[in-house]
Chains A and B, each alone.
Chain A
């Protein structure tokens, strides 16, 4: 049986790992390599590194630390942040990243997904989607450039349409960041994740809202996602990964211990 993945997310800014609440008010939580090692040793199944300011600052992340992380880690990791061409993706994969994740640049130019999957195969192309529920119209819509509140744009796209388009263009995995839930630890957006799960034939990773063991249990059992991503509960040691994984296994969820 394929295990459900527990994925700490490390938001990187200025070479350090930071954490914000609803994409704002970032605080420093440690060095990239120290946290990579800490989470590897704790039993993380995969790590994601987001350079949260890369798209906003119109630059891309440095392959430099990617190579150091790759040297250190014996688990897979994904890097994201301003990757906007085959060339910038290649530099990161050659530095040792297992997957690359694209978000804002793919919204600006969706053909980027086709180009990346043709060059490297779908299996290493992740599309990150920052989605919010418009509570007036009860629709899910996509935002871009969420690394800084002032730069964030409403793309006008509907989340379900964009996920289907991204998969059709060659995305091998979708990470759905539910923005209404991000950093507030009230639970994953199960309704939204279920809606996306129904139309998403590739692996789906939930992001945004994790606060308790039962939030993880619910997202695996109710929304049937392949992995659950979280940041603050791990950075603040609210849910140590070894005990989280043991608790989930005890609840009959397939988990790698």
Chain B
């Protein structure tokens, strides 16, 4: 069973629809027991990190997610929540990946970073099966993880940053695969095939 964690953020429906287009009907829930038993988890998120982390705390989900060992994918703010800290409001994250999220230095370009940008520096990873350097995905964000040892794909807007990170069974996508056309659908399909 695929579970989408109800983070109280407003884009849950579109993430769920993306999996339905792949023929999978996910369960959207904030219930700790259901989440801890899930085969795979999607942690979506839009908005501000302090608010989103507070929503997880209120639902008693911080420890549940920290203890989860099967495949988990954080999307956009959900990816940023995987880290220890964020420059956004000085928030603490789940700490599943070491380090922090920084404000993206756009080098004078308009912010937030919004639109279709290229994936590059792709690692040999099952989540990237069928994906080529230069493929476009859809980003909307102001904060980002710098390129680091967990980075398996980068993108560039003013500076290079982590487009996808992986640590063990924990994946994070800074972009929105649910809104990234065929490329995004392929990544979600790959996530469904990652071995538990």
For A202, give its contact among B110, B138, B185 (CB under 8 Å).
B110
Docked-complex contact A121 and B46, CB < 8 angstroms: yes
Q: In the complex, given contacts A4-B115, A120-B46, A202-B112, what are 8 additional A-B residue pairs having Cβ atoms less than 8 angstroms apart?
A: A1-B118, A45-B115, A75-B179, A75-B181, A76-B140, A96-B17, A172-B114, A204-B110
20 contacting pairs across A/B (C-beta < 8 A): A1-B118, A2-B116, A45-B116, A67-B13, A70-B17, A74-B21, A74-B180, A75-B179, A76-B179, A93-B10, A98-B140, A98-B179, A122-B142, A123-B114, A123-B142, A124-B140, A172-B114, A201-B110, A203-B114, A256-B116
For A3, give its contact among B20, B136, B142 (CB under 8 Å).
B136
Chain A positions within 8 Å of B14 at CB level: 70, 96, 98
B157 touches A (CB below 8 Å): yes
B48 touches A (CB below 8 Å): yes
Docked-complex contact B10 and A123, CB < 8 angstroms: no
A189 touches B (CB below 8 Å): no
Q: How large is the interface on B (under 10, 10 to 19, 20 to 34, 35 or more residues)?
A: 35 or more
Docked-complex contact B13 and A96, CB < 8 angstroms: yes
> In terms of DSSP, what is the predominant structure of the interface of chain A?
loop
B141 touches A (CB below 8 Å): yes
Chain B positions within 8 Å of A4 at CB level: 115
| Closest chain A residue, CB of each to CB of B110 | A203
Docked-complex contact B46 and A3, CB < 8 angstroms: no
B18 touches A (CB below 8 Å): yes
Docked-complex contact A74 and B178, CB < 8 angstroms: yes
B113 touches A (CB below 8 Å): yes
> In terms of DSSP, what is the predominant structure of the interface of chain B?
mixed
Q: How far is the CA of A250 from the CA of B168 in the complex (A)?
A: 42
B189 touches A (CB below 8 Å): no
B47 touches A (CB below 8 Å): yes
A200 touches B (CB below 8 Å): yes
Docked-complex contact B47 and A74, CB < 8 angstroms: no
* Residue interface mask A172-210, B partner, CB < 8 A = 1: 110000000000000000000000000011111000000
Residues of A within 8 Å of B, CB-based: how many? 36
B117 touches A (CB below 8 Å): yes
B24 touches A (CB below 8 Å): no
For B112, give its contact among A75, A120, A172 (CB under 8 Å).
A172
B176 touches A (CB below 8 Å): yes
A162 shortest CB reach to chain B, Å: 18
B97 shortest CB reach to chain A, Å: 22
Q: How far is the CA of A123 from the CA of B181 in the complex (A)?
A: 20
A141 shortest CB reach to chain B, Å: 24
A235 touches B (CB below 8 Å): no
Docked-complex contact A121 and B48, CB < 8 angstroms: yes
Q: Do A1 and B117 contact each other (CB < 8 Å), given the known contacts A74-B21, A121-B46, A202-B111?
A: yes
B42 shortest CB reach to chain A, Å: 15
Chain B positions within 8 Å of A5 at CB level: 115-116
A227 touches B (CB below 8 Å): yes
A71 touches B (CB below 8 Å): yes
Q: Do A203 and B46 contact each other (CB < 8 Å), given the known contacts A70-B14, A96-B14, A96-B17?
A: no
A253 touches B (CB below 8 Å): no
Chain B positions within 8 Å of A98 at CB level: 11, 14, 140, 176, 179
Chain B positions within 8 Å of A71 at CB level: 17, 20-21
Chain A positions within 8 Å of B184 at CB level: 74
Q: How far is the CA of A223 from the CA of B157 in the complex (A)?
A: 19
A77-132 CB contacts (< 8 Å) to partner B? 90, 93-96, 98, 119-124
